[in-house]
Amino acid sequence: MRYLRPGQRASSQDDDVISAINTTPLVDVMLVLLIIFLITIPVVTQTIKLTLPKEVNIPTQTKPENIVLGVDDKSNIYWNISPVKSDEELLARLVKVAKMDPQPEIHIRGDMSSKYSSVGRIVLAVQRAGIVKIAFITEPPARN
């Protein structure tokens, strides 16, 4: 660009508009984004190789020695169909059952709206009693 002295007129060459796009800011932004992606991608992709379980619908085998523990939406625990009043009562009943040979399986049925802590209390009691086999009874998702 040329500077004009007072009283000097601009020539017709100075009135031309530059039609080229300035790509320098675009390149700067793209390089910054590239650097950000190069830094964050290794953090995101670091995982441990695991074989995750697949969804399988296995029908439960009801045996008379199996015990079904249920938790309703109000965190009440049931031994088959009879209510269990306290965690101590549950543990005492499980300790008696753990001495049986062979040990029965414990099947846990939890209401969808029950708290996780209620199911956790059952799992803790089963572990403290020394029972090895625990199973969770679920319903398969609806298929279209």
Q: For 107-140, write each residue's pLDDT tens digit.
A: 888 888 888 888 899 999 999 999 988 888 877 7
Residue 30 belongs to a domain: no
For residue 139, CA distances in Å to 56, 69, 87, 121 come to 11, 16, 26, 22
How many domains does the chain divide into? Answer: 1
Q: The whole model's pTM is what? A: 0.57
Residue 129 belongs to a domain: yes
Residue 35 belongs to a domain: no
Domain at 129, CATH number: 3.30.420
Peptide linkage before 59 cis (omega within 30 of 0): no
